[in-house]
Amino acid sequence: MTYRIDNLQYANWSEKIFRQMREGGVDAVHVTISYHENFRETVLNFEQWNRWFEQFPDLIFHGQWGSDVRKARETGRTAIFFGFQNPSPIEDDIDLVEILHKLGARFMQLTYNNQSLLATGCYEADDSGITRMGKQVIKEMNRVGLVIDMSHSADRSTIEAAEISERPITITHANLHSWQPALRNKRDDVVRAVTENGGMMGFSMYPHHLKDKSNCTVESFCEMIARAAETFGAEHFGLGSDLCQDQPDSIVEWMRVGRWSKEIDYGEGSAAAPGFPPQPDWFKDNRDFGNIENGLRKIGFSESETAGIMGNNWLRFYDENFGPQQI
């Protein structure tokens, strides 16, 4: 059985997109529900999703466990898993880790580009690693089953998180730095630190993370995956498209600046091209996962390796890491 899981999207959600998930046979999507939101604002985002679950019960439902991915396949729907790209939802309060896990959060980045209370983001000039609070919060995330995501973190912080965490950690959406030397893509020693302890990395189809950006070919993308699989083992990889479908450019500005600066910061963009870049033609929306599956087969992945990368590896990870720590 090949499950299809996209382990990172942040679309401007609509019935249209939920129907495209079904057309694309997507069994589960990990959606970001917080970039800069504090606890109360994050609860508003849970509320919004509860409305959608109530409105579109034939298309989507709230996924909490690996078994919900199987249930999604059996009932012809898409299971929606929640995650945060910043620890802002826990504010300065370690006890909010358990509260948010109970509400359904399953992934939390320790940083989003900037320094957080827990670790250093990839846009800071200097990386001091996991902080005093960070060490405590990692322990608590391990305990309850909230998965650590270091996609937007700096290298030292990521390697330290992998060392300190007693459970596998993730990079939900990024590519190999050796393929496309973007600030957000990951150097080999970082990928190794994450994957060698059972961790997972999801490959991103966000143009700034692709070689030749919007003009990247699916062949080149699958070549990178083949290189990653050869070096670190195919079982540690999946997809995390970072699809931001139908979002206005004001959203990428907010992602970059939040409430922390009165000046604009262009992040991966520039003053000349401040908005979202266009998606490559082989991955416009949730209906296009077949292009990647075909590309993986063509480059020489076996059926079981292809199934792993398309979703089975994430499913195994979900099964093992969303529940309380076994001691």
Q: Given the rule CB under 8 A, which residues bind a copy of itself?
A: 36, 38, 88, 91-95, 114-117, 120, 123-129, 131-134, 136, 140, 258-263, 265
| CB nearer to a copy of itself: pick between 140 and 319 | 140
Q: Shortest Cβ distance from residue 38 to a copy of itself (Å)?
A: 7
Q: Shortest Cβ distance from residue 175 to a copy of itself (Å)?
A: 24
| CB nearer to a copy of itself: pick between 54 and 263 | 263
| CB nearer to a copy of itself: pick between 39 and 282 | 39
| CB nearer to a copy of itself: pick between 63 and 129 | 129
Q: Shortest Cβ distance from residue 123 to a copy of itself (Å)?
A: 6
Q: Shortest Cβ distance from residue 213 to a copy of itself (Å)?
A: 25
| CB nearer to a copy of itself: pick between 114 and 220 | 114
How far apart are the C-alpha atoms of 119 and 112, rounded to whole Å?
10
Q: Is 248 exposed, middle or buried (0-12, 13-18, 19+ CB in 10 A)?
A: exposed
Q: Shortest Cβ distance from residue 73 to a copy of itself (Å)?
A: 38
